[in-house]
Amino acid sequence: MNRSLYLEHDGKVLLVDLIGSGPQKAVMGRVGEVSLRLPTEKEVETMGITWTERRTNRIKFGNETHEVVYALPEIDWPENWTWKDKLISDGCVDPLAREAVYRSMHRVVAKVILHHPKNGVVMAKVKRGFFTGHWTLPGGFVDYAEHPREGAIREVLEELGVSVQIDEKDILQISERIFTSEGIQFLSFTYKCDVNAELDFKPKADEIEEARWFSVEDALSRAASLFDVEALRLLE
């Protein structure tokens, strides 16, 4: 199995050329043969750089699986390293390096606990996506240039057909998890919205099979998402 080292510091990544000489800089928009790649651990050792390992991801390209060690370099400022934003648009950079940058970026989701003093909390049974056939809190991915709070309000409206007001102070929990060896990282913002009136649910036909109220205890027993479980436990 091929093994590479992904070192990032202050938004800059260490690249080497095909013979292992570096650091090298990427060029945005360049097209051509692959000439830059991630270094191996031995190549970085020869540069006199030490690092602290954070995790190892397994990235599969075709029939090959690559191990990429993500680590924090013990240096002050990587002046001659390449900005990760430039790396991803350089066609001369090995696709593995570009994929490694992609894996390093958070996927942001926003969830909402609609809480009623008598009815409990709202859960939605999902028809597609990661949790098909299971119950989750209303919510989903935050769009580009969208605040998590705005995303939470939008998702409740889209999924349940319900308009809610959420303030910044309503944030209940912020959680982070990497669930698989592939290394996709999720950052979840969960808001608590107190509801004092009955809600008329109009579930999104192609996404939500059903939406209804559950006691907190019952919601916990049905919740498919670890983020949901962690947030619901704060209500106990």
Tell me the pLDDT tens digit for each residue of 95-126: 999 999 999 999 999 999 999 999 999 999 99
pTM, 2 dp: 0.87
d(CA 176, CA 6): 20
**Helices first, then strands: H and E counts in the chain:** 6, 14
Q: Which CATH architecture has domain 106-233?
A: Alpha-Beta Complex (3.90)
Outline which parts of the chain fall under CATH 3.90.79.10.
106-233
Is the Cβ–Cβ distance between 111 and 131 less than 8 Å? no
Asked if 22 and 47 touch (Cβ cutoff 8 Å), the reply is: yes
CATH T-level topology, domain 2-103? Nucleoside Triphosphate Pyrophosphohydrolase (3.90.79)
- State the Cα–Cα distance between residues 9 and 85, nearest whole angstrom: 13
Q: What pLDDT shows up at residue 236? A: 78
The residues, any chain, with a CB within 8 Å of residue 199's CB and separated by 6 or more, are: 114, 122, 160, 162
Residue 128's pLDDT is: 87
The pLDDT, as a whole number, for residue 136 is 97
Low-confidence ranges of the chain (pLDDT < 50): none
